[in-house]
Amino acid sequence: MPDIIQILPDALANQIAAGEVIQRPASAVKELLENAIDAKATEIKLIIKEGGKNFIQVVDNGTGMSETDARLAFERHATSKLRTSDDLFHITTKGFRGEALASIAAVAKVSVKTRRAEDATGTQIEIDASKVVSHEPCSCPVGTIFTIKNLFYNVPARRKFLKSDQVEFRHIIDEFQRVALAHPDISFYLYNDETQVFQLESTILRQRIAHLMGAHFNSRLVPVEEATDFVKIDGFICKPDSAKKTRGEQFFFVNGRFIKSPYFHHAVSNAFEDLIEKDTHPGYFLFLEIDPAKIDVNIHPTKTEVKFEDERMIYAVIRSSVRQALGKYNITPTLDFDAETAFQIPIKKNISQVVQPTIKVNADYNPFKKENPVKKEWESFYEVAKKEPMKDLLANQWVDLQTGEVIDGQKKNETEELLLDLESKVFQLFNRYIVTGSGNSLWIIDQHRAHERVLYEKFLSQANQGHSQMIMFPETWELNGADMAAVNEILPDLISSGFDMEPIGTQAMIIRGVPADATGMDTKNMLETLLEQYKNAGKLTAEDRRELVARSLASKMSIKSGMILNKPEILQLLRDLLATQMPWMGINGKPIIFSKSPDELDELFLKFK
């Protein structure tokens, strides 16, 4: 038999290897930013176009490269940061594997302009799919300019799996934030499609966090400081009342390198136990300094996974330092049992002359008068306000929730006859279920799932803008850069569902109106839950995105188990449910109506005879 094992061509081997390092435009951005930092740059500009798929440029004022170094930088496993195997255990730079530039050059068109301070002219190199197209001297400032065009143009399968420009840019913001947080002493600038997104001047960590996450963050931060023989921890945690449903404000850094560690995240969450609501996440920006010999960052090409010599000790130190910070700055609730609050009367500084109180008597007051018009008026106002969240259930609108068309008279009459038949034999059970009977069947209906189905089909049917209820005082929803980009992606779907909202600046949304069914609800909590579900959903088509928004809003806005309904509300809910396309099945695939015939009930009771 002929030999079947062959050595791969260099071009193919480079494309395969590049897949481990460069997974999307954000991966290339991370590598270029870290190279600029290793080059001792004090100012770095990142320019993005079309989500980074067609254009990425990083401009730095670092040390630059010689002509020879510029050419060797694109060779695989060529690096200036390691000399011997012992250096692997004392890594202090961002990069060291010598794979990033070679991987980028294998799957894109790359050009680099670079010059050292001692050189009169710089060097310009253009590479196309690992092949050097040109190599010549040029005029350029001290530092390096890397430009990447048409990422994955020669790997169609990989390019096909890239997401929309907005989603890819959101991932770029994530990488940009991580690098910028780790180096507040460096100035960073980010431009997207010729619009400046961030202008971060050299500053201290606290101000860098506020510039990236929003000015409101400054008042939320609580300092954390702890030093042991094994690890030093400093940084900030966010106050418990700022915990969110969404992730994205959790940052761990080890020796200036961003890492992901569910184990250490659990340590922080454990320290916040009983201080935040369930299913919310505390924010933190924690920096760990450890002897490089006691960690191993050479686990994965992305270098976000790190092995520690003693993880348990670090876990305990993190938990203890966070707890100590919460207590030190009076974040945890305390009780002073020695203080008698009944005697804590404030002393007025400017004491005026004491005046004897006067007694006023209403001569027209009649204690035997039964009705008090004023009291009756306020009681009726209270009743109206109490019923406000249910007003849409009571609206007598006969519309097909799927098509938006008026239900034909025959179907309406049949449903009305059924409702008239049910009216005398319908009641609520345990404030959770609606019990009634139709023909020869007993119905038990889950009120929460029923209303979920009604709202879900209603939101899906709203092709344009849904019914919106203006709120008295517009709310400002503050977001970090990545979350703001995600909200912009689903903003058209939110507007079609009935939200009246728009961006203000780059890190906030103003909410002027909400869907009519959401009146009186915690708007920000509802939107944060939706945002978290969207961020975890993966790649979505426009139809999938619309369906996710409808499902999430229906789940949050539907009436819950335990809510008391009167008979008109019950009948309206049944009317709306019967008008849906699938009145028997909830949006989670579970049944809405549990039905039993007399024969089935007889059989059930016969089992106990």
DSSP per-residue codes, 24-75: SHHHHHHHHHHHHHHTT-SEEEEEEEGGGTSEEEEEE-S----HHHHHHTTS
Q: What's the confidence (pLDDT) of residue 545? A: 86
- CA trace torsion 519, 521, 523, 529 (10° rounding): -130
Q: What is the pLDDT of residues 34-89, one digit of tens each?
A: 999 999 999 999 999 999 999 999 999 999 999 998 988 888 766 665 555 555 55
Concatenating the DSSP letter of every residue in 563-576 gives ----HHHHHHHHHH
Lowest mean pLDDT among 316-320, 471-475, 504-508: 504-508
**How far is the C-alpha of 18 from the C-alpha of 25, rounded, in Å?**
12
Lowest mean pLDDT among 144-158, 286-300, 458-472: 458-472
Predicted confidence (pLDDT) at residue 601 exceeds the cutoff of 90: no
**How far is the C-alpha of 576 from the C-alpha of 456, rounded, in Å?**
12
Taking residues 539-546, what's their average pLDDT? 82
Q: What's the confidence (pLDDT) of residue 468? A: 83
Predicted confidence (pLDDT) at residue 422 exceeds the cutoff of 90: no
Q: What's the confidence (pLDDT) of residue 367? A: 56
Taking residues 18-41, what's their average pLDDT? 87
Residue 238 and residue 281 in contact, taking contact as beta carbons nearer than 8 Å: no
Lowest mean pLDDT among 420-424, 441-445, 471-475, 521-525: 420-424
Q: What is the pLDDT of residues 99-136, one digit of tens each?
A: 788 889 989 999 999 999 999 999 999 999 889 999 99
Helix or strand (DSSP H, E) at 250: strand 250-254
Q: What's the confidence (pLDDT) of residue 93? A: 66
Q: Are strands 500-503 and 468-478 parallel, antiparallel or unpaired?
A: unpaired
Residue 92 and residue 65 in contact, taking contact as beta carbons nearer than 8 Å: no
Q: Which residues contact 200 (CB under 8 A, 6 or more apart)?
A: 180, 187, 188, 189, 208, 211, 212
Smallest CA-to-CA distance from 555 within 402, 462, 453 is with 453
Lowest mean pLDDT among 15-24, 273-282, 425-434: 15-24
Greatest mean pLDDT among 330-339, 435-444, 572-581 lies in 572-581
Tokens 């929003």 locate to: 214
Taking residues 382-399, what's their average pLDDT? 37
Tokens 């106990």 locate to: 608
Concatenating the DSSP letter of every residue in 508-566 gives EEEEEEEEGGGTTS-HHHHHHHHHHHHHTS-S--HHHHHHHHHHHHHHHHSPPTT----
Taking residues 225-243, what's their average pLDDT? 92
End-to-end, the C-alpha distance of the chain in Å comes to: 78
Amino acid making up residue 216: H
Q: What's the confidence (pLDDT) of residue 241? A: 87
Q: What is the pLDDT of residues 131-171, one digit of tens each?
A: 999 999 999 999 999 999 999 998 888 888 888 888 899 99
**How far is the C-alpha of 524 from the C-alpha of 216, rounded, in Å?**
16
Domains, the chain, ordered by start: 10-202 (3.30.565.10), 206-328 (3.30.230.10), 394-595 (3.30.1370.100)
Query: How many C-beta atoms lie closer than 10 Å to residue 52's C-beta?
Result: 25
Q: What's the confidence (pLDDT) of residue 384? A: 36
Q: What's the confidence (pLDDT) of residue 271? A: 93
**How far is the C-alpha of 388 from the C-alpha of 519, rounded, in Å?**
8
Order of strands, sheet of 122-128, starting from the edge strand that comes earlier in the sequence: 131-138, 122-128, 109-115, 143-149, 55-60, 43-49, 187-192, 195-200
Greatest mean pLDDT among 181-185, 355-359, 552-556, 578-582 lies in 181-185
The rounded percent of the chain whose pLDDT value lies above 70 is: 77
Distances (CA, A) of 596 to 286, 432, 441, 444, 500: 58, 18, 5, 9, 44
